[in-house]
Structure 1
Amino acid sequence: MLSFTSHDSDKTALNRWESLLHYLQHPLTAPAPLDTNSTVSRYEHDQQRMDYLSGGIVLLTSTVAQGRLLLTRAFQANRSRNSGHAGVMLSGDSALGKTTTAKRLMRWVLEEYTRQVPHWEQDEHIPVMYVEVPSGSNAKDLLREFCDFYGLSVLSRDTTADLRTKVVAAIRRARTQLIVVDELHNLSGRASGLGEAVDLLKGLHNDVSATFLYCGLDVTNSTLMHGARGQQLMSRFAVVELESYKWSSADHRKEWKQLIRTFESQLQLRNHPVGTLNTLAEYLYQRTGGSIGSLSRLLTGAAID
C-alpha cells in the first residue's frame, strides 16, 4: 500500500521562515512501543514508525560536534565586530550529511537563543534563516532567495542594490543570528557575475552582525574561493571537511561499527535485537563506501520495507 505525504509535510520546508520554524520546533520523535495498553492500532503505529524512519533519525556525529565548537567560536568572535565577521563552512562530496548537519546546528542555535531570549517570538525575531542557492545563480538571484525567506516583495524594477538594501534591513530588523547558505557551489557554475556574488557575500558580512554557515560540494576547492576575492572570503571561515568513514585501521573500523550500532538502535523494529548488524559491518561499508548518507538510506529503507 502506498504511503502518501500529508499536507503537514509543507510545514517542513527550510527556505521560508514559518516552515523552517515549524521544522526546528517540532522534530519527529520515535513512537512509544506498541503494547496491550496502547490506544493506537498496529496500522497507526506502523505509520508513525515509518514517519520517524523517513525523517526523524538525526545523530550527534563528530561532524555535528565539531560544527558546534566552531560556531561557538565564531559567535564569540563576532560579538563586537563591525566588519569581516567570522563564519563556518561545511565542505565535502554529496551524501556525506552537509545539509543534515546544518539542520542539526540550526536547531541547536534556536534552542540556545530560546534559552537566552525567551520572548523572541513575541518580539518577532527570526534567529535562524536558511537559503538554498539555485543552480547557476548570480548575486541578484541569491538576494531574491533571501527576500523569499523573509517574505519581502520583489519588484521587477528592483536592482541588485535595491534588493540588498531590503535584505540587510530585514536581517537587522529580525535580529537574525545565524544565516545558512546551502548549495553554495551553485554560485561557482556561472563565470559571469561570480565576482559580484563573492562581493555580495563579503558585503553582507560587513552589513549585518549575523554569523554565516556555508554548505556546499567541495567548496574549498571551487572556483568561488579562487582569486583574491575568494581567498579573502575564505580567510574568514573555519572549515569542516566532511569525509567518508574509513576502514583502513582498527580505530576507523571501530568508529564505523559504532555508527552502525547507533543507527540500529533507532530503527524501530519490533523484533530486532541491537547488535544483529555487527557481523555485517564490513559488508555495509562496501555497500555504502563509508558514506553516512548512503548508510542511512540503506538501513532506514530496509527497516521501512
Structure 2
Amino acid sequence: MAFFLETLFGGLMAGMLYSLIALGFVLIFKASGVFNFAQGAMVLFAALAMARLAEWFPQWLGFESKVLANVLAFVGAMVLMVIVAWLIERLVLGPLVNQEGITLLMATLGVAYFLDGFGQTLFGSDIYSIDVGMPKDPVLIAESTFEGGILINQEDLVAALVAAALVAGLALFFQKTATGRALRAVADDHQAAQSIGIPLNRIWVIVWSVAGFVALVAGIIWGSKLGVQFSLSQVALKALPVVILGGLTSVPGAIVGGLIIGVGEKLSEVYIGPLLGGGIEIWFAYVLALLFLLVRPQGLFGEKIIDRV
C-alpha cells in the first residue's frame, strides 16, 4: 500500500507540472483559436533567460547574493517574455487576423523555430542550471502508518504546489476579471469582439504575456529538475495529450488531464511495465490521447461542436 501511494503521489506531482505547460496551450487557444506550437520553445527560451541572467547580473552589478540574482533574473526574464509577446502580436498575429486556422498554426510553428534559434544565439547552447533554492532531498512521511513510510521528493512537492497555485489563479483570472471575460469573448468570435470595442491587439499581447509568464514558471521548475538544455522544449510535447484529454478551451480540463496523464503513466510503468518490458511511460499519454480522439475528440471538458445544416 505504501509503495502504491508513493507512486500515486509521484504521478500527481508530475501531472501538475504537465498541467502547467498545458495551460500555455489552453491560454493561447482560448484567446486566438490557434494551437500554439511555440509553447515548448517559449518554455525553453524563458528558462534560458532565467539561467543566464542569474549568472550575468552578479557580474554586471558586482554583488554575490544568489537570492537577489534570482529575483532580478526572474524580473528580467519576465520583461523579456512580455517583449516577445508584443513582437509576436505586432509582427505575426496582427497581420494574420481572421486568417485560416492552418495559417496561424504554421505561424506559431515558425515562431517556435525562431525562438529556438534566437535563444541559442542570445544565451548559448550549453547545459545551464537554475538554482532557486528548491529542496532536493526526499523525505519520509506517514512512518507510523505504513512500514518504512512513504518517500516524497520535496522538489516535486514544492513544484506541484506552485503549479497548483498558478493554475488556480489563472482559473480565477478567466472567470472573475473583466480582462478574462474579454479573452473569452475574443476566443468565441474575433469580429464580434472587435465590434463591441474589445481591442484585439491588446488582448493578444496580454494573453501571450500571461502564457510567457506560465512558460517562465514552467521553465524554472523543469530547468531546476533537469537542467536547462535544448531538449527541454520536448517536455512540452507531454502537454499535447493533456490538452487533448482535458479540452483545448478548458483551464480545469488542463488540470484534470495533467493529473490523469501523470498518475496513469506512473502506475502503468510500475505495475504493467515489467510485464511488457518497460517503456510504457514514454507512450502511455499519446495512446490515451488517441483513444480520446476516437471517442470524445473535444476532450473531457471541451465544448462539443454541432454543425447545423
Q: Same fold (TM over 0.5)?
A: no
Greater relative CO (CA pairs within 8 A, separation 6+): 2
Structure 1 length normalisation: TM-score? 0.25
Structure 2 length normalisation: TM-score? 0.24
Structure with greater proportional helix content: 2
